[in-house]
Structure 1
Amino acid sequence: MHFDLADLNLFIHVAEASSLTGGAKQAHLSTAAASTRIKSFEGQLGSRLFYRGSHGVELTPAGENLLKHARAIMRQVEYLKSDFSDYGRSETGHIRIFANTTAVTEFMPEVLANFLGSRPGITIDLKERLTKDIFRGVLDGAADFGVTSGEIKMKGLEVMPFSMDRLVVVVPIGHPLTGTKDLAFKDTLIYPHVGLHEGSTLLEFLKKEVSEVGETLPLRIQVFGFEPACRMIEAGVGIGILPESSALRYQTTMRLNIVELKDVWAKRERSVVVREFESLPESSKNLIHEIRSYHSYKE
């Protein structure tokens, strides 16, 4: 069997675009040339990699399996280039990160601003993903590492905890829940909620918890971000379940009260997850160190 890195790179582009034309464009090839290369690649492997339809292409089971290996191979090639670029200095490279809503909106912007400010040769791709997609992305090589919170049961990952946070109920001044002790999440469901946008990790987590108690989340409005959520809560639109770190920050400028939840899951451990820390390039290792150090002096 013989194939080159260009074949793998083209295959990844087509798979991620779900389109031969889109993948060819990313690989700087004509559609015809890309089609020829993919067919030749399938012939060498003795397996069909894509189902072709009027709306694009879809991976076959063999293609799904190959994508995991192809991503891992290409990431190792990128790591190799990064480590040997400028004699292995940590000031160059491209880092891909999958993170949950809290990380993307709360602390990663400040961490990345500090990190990138002194490293002009580094580029970063930060994407918000659901927890399960963070794990899968790291395992499949779509991300160098992930930033998440809560219990981690996925095998094959190295987990590096770095701080604690708590989910709390945020209510407007004068709300009936103000000052409540031993409040359970299910007891908040009689009030309208202000929730985050569809696809946010926090919203998906709360929907899961609600379904387990046989209820539905009474969403009155959904917004993008914790600050808009707090503004809605302050205005009396509803109550919200937010990270305590965010609630405390916005409480300094808004008329809000914070009520603790007694649910065990409300206290969450934040972690960086990687497939294999020692195989990461120095730039990624240094960024992970920055994330963990940031929280050690912030808390």
Structure 2
Amino acid sequence: MHFDFTDIRLFVHIAETGNLTQGAARTFLSAPAASARIRALEASLNAQLLYRGNKGVSLTQSGETLLRHAQIILRQVDYLRDDFTGPNSDTSGHVRIFANTTAVTEFMPEVLAEFLASRPGVTVDLQERLTQDIVRAIHDGTADLGIVSGEIDQTGLEAIRFSTDRLLLAVPLGHDLANCKHVAFADTLKYEHIGLHEGSTLLAFLRGLMEKNGYERALRVKLRSFEAMCRMIEAGVGIGILPESAARRHMRTMQITLVGIDDGWAIRERFVLVRSLEALPGAGRALVEELVQNAAGGIK
């Protein structure tokens, strides 16, 4: 078995883009050279790694296995480089973060803006993922930090609590529930619900609760942002559940009312997940500290 770091990076880039030519370009190789390297890699491993089609490539089961190991190898190389950047190692390096919808849209932009302003040598890859994918990525080492809410299996991970996430029900003015201070989630299911897009952590969480409570209808509308949800609610299309920070911000400019949710799951603790805080590169540890400090200063 023989391959080098160029082969590993090339394979990861192809997997991420779903396209051999684009993956080659990201690795600064020509398409023919990249194709030859992938064929040699498959021969070395005695396994087919890619399904090749007219619209691009996809990974075989062997390809998925190699991708998981390749990402870990590249992250460890990054850690090695960061450990030798000197005493100010938190001012350079790369941090990959997998986070839930609320984190990506509501507070991470502000946290990262402040964090990166004083660290021009640091780069960050922030991706929205489902909770189970976040946990898996931290276990596998394919992400440095994971940001999640609610009850999760923390076995084998370090979980640093940094704030509380509260979910509220948003309804249009004049709605049947508009004068309620609190409502049980089950009592909202007689009304049409709207929600976030497919792939969002909040949609996946609420869909599970809806199925458990017998909500058999499809969501009336699915949208890309909390702002779009609130505008649709304001227009009377349906009602929706969203984080308190987003709900209160949009309530200032839209004709909606917020109602508390009685169910215990509506108040959820937020955690940063890591495999080992001590083993993180300096930039990763500094970002965890920044999150905790920002929470103490007012992340909602």
The answer to whether TM tops 0.5 is yes
Cα distance in 2 for residues equivalent to 1:247 and 1:228: 11
The 3 A distance-change label for structure 1 pair 231 and 61 is: closer
Does structure 2 retain, via aligned residues, the 8 Å contact 1:234–1:254?
Answer: yes
Residue 95 of structure 2: aligned partner: 95
Tell me, yes or no, if the aligned pair for 2:130 and 2:200 is still in contact at 8 Å: yes
Aligned partners of 2:135 and 2:15: how far apart in 1?
19
Distance 1:190 1:109 in 2: 36
Instruction: Please list the CA deviations of residues 25-68 of structure 1 after superposition, one character each: whole Å capped at 9, or x if unmatched.
Output: 22111222112222222333333323334443332333222221
8 Å Cα contact 2:89-2:281 kept in structure 1: no
Q: Which runs of 5+ in 1 are unaligned?
A: none
Matched, 1:291 2:291: yes
1:129 aligns with 2:129: yes
Q: Deviations over 1:253-294 (max 9, x none)?
A: 444322222223222111111233222110011011111111
1:98-177 alignment, distance < 5 Å:
98-153=98-153, 155-177=155-177
Residue 226 of structure 2 is aligned to residue 226 of structure 1: yes
Which residue does 2:26 correspond to in 1? 26
- 3-state SS of the aligned residue for 1:165? strand
State, as a whole percentage, how many aligned pairs show the same letter.
Answer: 54
Give the Å deviation of 1:156.
3.9
**8 Å contact from structure 2 (residues 182, 259) kept in 1:** no
Q: Is the 8 A contact 1:184 1:262 kept in 2?
A: yes
Give the equivalent residue in structure 2 for 1:50.
50
2:251 counterpart residue number: 251
Question: What is the distance in 2 between the residues matched to 1:218 and 1:63?
Answer: 35
2-structure distance, mates of 1:194, 1:59: 34
- Tell me the amino acid that sits aligned with residue 243 of structure 1: P
Listed one character per residue, the Cα deviations across residues 82-141 of structure 1 (whole Å, up to 9, x for unaligned) are 232355521111222111111111111111111111111112221222222222333334
User: CA RMSD of the aligned region, Å?
Assistant: 2.3
Q: Which amino acid aligns with 2:202?
A: L
Q: Corresponding residue for 1:206?
A: 206
Mean Cα displacement is larger for which, 284-293 or 249-258? 249-258
Q: How do residues 62-81 of structure 1 correspond to structure 2 at under 5 angstroms?
A: 62-81=62-81
Letter in 1 for 2:95: I
Equivalenced residue count is 299
What is the alpha-carbon distance in structure 2 between the residues aligned to residue 87 and residue 2 of structure 1?
36
Asked whether the 8 Å contact 1:20–1:57 carries over to 2, the reply is yes
Question: CA separation of 1:36/1:243 partners in 2, compared to 1, >3 Å: closer, same or farther?
Answer: same
Q: Do the aligned partners of residues 263 and 118 (structure 1) sit closer, same or farther apart at CA in structure 2, a change above 3 Å counting?
A: same
Q: So what's the TM-score if we normalise by structure 1?
A: 0.90
Q: Is the 8 A contact 2:170 2:259 kept in 1?
A: yes
- Once residues 257 and 181 of structure 1 are traced to their aligned partners in structure 2, the CA distance between those partners, rounded to angstroms, is 10
